[in-house]
């Protein structure tokens, strides 16, 4: 039992004298809007838990950073301010490099490769989270990342000096290696950042492009298939272990189903949202050979840098991934 919740009500432990058991209310912050495919998957997960757990626990989702901002979700779950939450895995790469391997450019560029990388990474993730009193419930990838620009880009040199939307350490390093200036921008702030000129390019999924209505502020999308970053849902171990066994079982069963369903939904989302970008006037095309080779070279450099930073733990992940 680690990191007992500091706010008992927030963590959901509600008890009254004379009652054998009372419903536990859990608030769950997420970073993305309600219509996003991750949030639809989470909504189904929550519905299944609430139904199966009966009066033991009831989870209420708070989408789009409405309860807690994305950068604060992990620590809020750890500290017991909320018992459960969703976040981008690689947001934690500054704390431990093992969380950043799914966002190393061109290391895993398909769903099959991304699943192998997740399987290799998962034990290290669970160990690192466990040290902070956190438990991994499930993890689901975004569609492959592509390059969005306000103007057409034919070669790497066309990106020199542009401002670039970053959302983790890996995207910051990618921007710098390509001669761009990174600026940390949350997904919910993308339209404003582009419209006000704070950024001119970004590398993200077609899903995020649709969520942010990218056609309102940029014109080009290049299908780089650079990497498939993942979100994860985590829970405070103390809050989880305080639930009756049947409620714990319900959560784990629903989590397993959400992970399987989420991976399938991500693949479907790739085609759906790429088609929507086209339908709304964005020019969707394959990158030029110069762009492709330029970013692949950057990816090779960043992979080696990640291996060095991650040390023995990173070497084990890469060995397991490449041997799978």
On the question of a common fold for 8-90+110-141+230-272 and 146-227+280-323, the answer reads yes
Q: How crowded is residue 251: how many other Cβ atoms within 10 Å of its Cβ?
A: 26
Is the pTM higher than 0.85? The answer reads yes
Residue 219 has pLDDT above 50, yes or no: yes
In this prediction, residue 136 carries a pLDDT of 99
61 burial level (CB within 10 Å; 0-12, 13-18, 19+) = buried
DSSP-derived secondary structure for 142-173: PPPPEEEESS---SGGGGTT-EEEE-SHHHHH
Interacting residues of 202 by C-beta distance below 8 A, sequence separation 6+: 147, 148, 164, 165, 185, 190
**Domain map (residue ranges) of the chain:** 8-90+110-141+230-272, 146-227+280-323
Q: Which residue has better confidence, 106 or 18?
A: 106
In this prediction, residue 5 carries a pLDDT of 40
* 42-100 residue pLDDT tens: 999 999 999 999 889 999 999 999 999 999 999 999 999 999 999 999 999 999 999 99
What is the percent of the chain where pLDDT is above 70?
Answer: 93
* Reported CATH class of domain 8-90+110-141+230-272: alpha beta
- 3-state SS assignment for residue 58: strand
The H-or-E segment that residue 84 falls in is: strand 84-88
pLDDT-based confidence at 23, cuts 50/70/90?
confident
pLDDT-based confidence at 2, cuts 50/70/90?
very low
* 250-283 residue pLDDT tens: 999 999 999 999 999 999 999 999 999 999 999 9
Structure tokens at 78: 């750890």
In this prediction, residue 22 carries a pLDDT of 58
What residues are paired with 86 via a beta bridge?
A: 233
In this prediction, residue 20 carries a pLDDT of 39
* 112-124 residue pLDDT tens: 999 999 999 999 9
- 3-state SS assignment for residue 93: coil
CATH number of 146-227+280-323: 3.40.190.170
């Amino acid at each position: 039992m680690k990191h007992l919740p500091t706010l008992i009500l927030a963590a959901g432990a509600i008890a009254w004298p004379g009652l054998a058991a009372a419903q536990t209310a859990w608030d769950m912050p997420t970073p993305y809007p309600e219509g996003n495919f991750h949030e639809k998957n989470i909504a189904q997960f929550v519905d299944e838990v609430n139904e199966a757990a009966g009066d033991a626990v009831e989870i209420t989702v708070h989408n789009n950073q409405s309860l807690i901002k994305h950068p604060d979700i992990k620590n809020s779950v750890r500290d017991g301010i909320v018992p459960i939450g969703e976040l981008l895995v690689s947001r934690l790469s500054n704390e431990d490099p093992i969380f950043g391997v799914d966002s190393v450019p061109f290391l895993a560029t398909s769903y099959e490769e991304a699943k192998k990388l997740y399987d290799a990474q998962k034990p290290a993730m669970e160990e690192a989270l466990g040290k902070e009193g956190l438990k991994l419930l499930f993890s689901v990838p975004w569609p492959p990342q592509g390059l969005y620009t306000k103007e057409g880009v034919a070669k790497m040199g066309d990106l020199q000096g542009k401002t670039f939307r970053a959302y983790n350490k890996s995207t910051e390093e990618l921007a710098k290696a390509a001669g761009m200036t990174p600026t940390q921008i949350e997904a919910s702030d993308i339209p404003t950042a582009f419209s006000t000129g704070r950024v001119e390019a970004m590398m993200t999924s077609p899903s995020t492009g649709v969520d942010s209505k990218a056609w309102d502020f940029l014109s080009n999308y290049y299908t780089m298939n650079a990497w498939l970053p993942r979100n994860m849902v985590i829970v405070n171990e103390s809050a989880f272990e305080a639930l009756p066994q049947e409620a714990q079982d319900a959560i784990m069963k629903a989590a397993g189903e959400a992970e399987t369903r989420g991976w399938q939904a991500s693949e479907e989302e790739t085609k759906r949202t790429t088609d929507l970008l086209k339908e709304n006037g964005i020019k969707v095309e394959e990158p030029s050979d110069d762009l492709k080779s330029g970013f692949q070279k950057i990816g090779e450099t960043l992979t080696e840098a990640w291996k060095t930073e991650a040390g023995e733990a990173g070497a084990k992940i890469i060995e397991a991934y490449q041997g799978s």
